[in-house]
Amino acid sequence: MPGAGPTFLSADQVLLTTLVFKLALMAASATILVRFRRFRHFLISEHRPSRERLTFALSLGILLSAGVAARLLLGYKAADLTLEGAFLAGLIDGPYAGVTVGVLVGLPAFGAGEWIALPFAIGCGFAAGGLRELCPKEAIWHFSPFIFTSLHRRAWQMLRALTVDWQVVLLMAPIGLEVLRLVLGARWNARIFELWQASPDPSVPPLSPWMLIVVLLATVLAVATPIKIWNNARIEHRLQEQEKLLLAARIEALANQINPHFLFNTLTSISSLIRTQPDTARMLITKLSGLLRRLMRSADHFVTLREEIESVDEYLDIEAIRFGPQLTVVKRISPDTLDVIVPSMILQPLVENSIKHGLARKVGGGRITISTDLRHGHTLIEVHDDGLGMSEERLERAFGGGIGLSNVNERLRTIYGEGCQLKLRSVPGQGTWASVEIPELAVSERVTA
Cβ-proximal residues to 163 (8 Å cutoff; 6+ apart), any chain: 157
pLDDT tens figures, 382-409: 999 888 888 887 777 777 655 667 778 8
Q: Considering the chain, what percentage of its residues have pLDDT values greater than 70? A: 84
Whole-angstrom distance, CA of residue 195 vs CA of residue 174:
15
Q: Where does residue 378 rank: exposed (0-12), middle (13-18), buried (19+ CB within 10 A)?
A: middle
Backbone conformation region of residue 345, classed left if phi is above 0, alpha if psi is from -120 to 50, else beta = left
pLDDT tens figures, 36-70: 888 887 887 777 888 888 988 998 899 899 999 99
The pLDDT value given to residue 331: 92
Choice between 157 and 30, residue whose per-residue pLDDT is larger? 30
Lowest model confidence (mean pLDDT) among 5-14, 164-173, 197-206: 197-206
Q: Which CATH superfamily is domain 272-438 in?
A: Histidine kinase-like ATPase, C-terminal domain (3.30.565.10)
Q: Is the pLDDT at 135 greater than 90, yes or no?
A: no
The pLDDT value given to residue 407: 75
Cα distance from N-terminal residue to C-terminal residue, the chain: 81
Grade residue 422 by pLDDT with cuts at 50, 70 and 90: confident
CB 139 within 8 A of CB 170: yes
Q: Tell me where in the chain the CATH 3.30.565.10 domain(s) lie.
A: 272-438
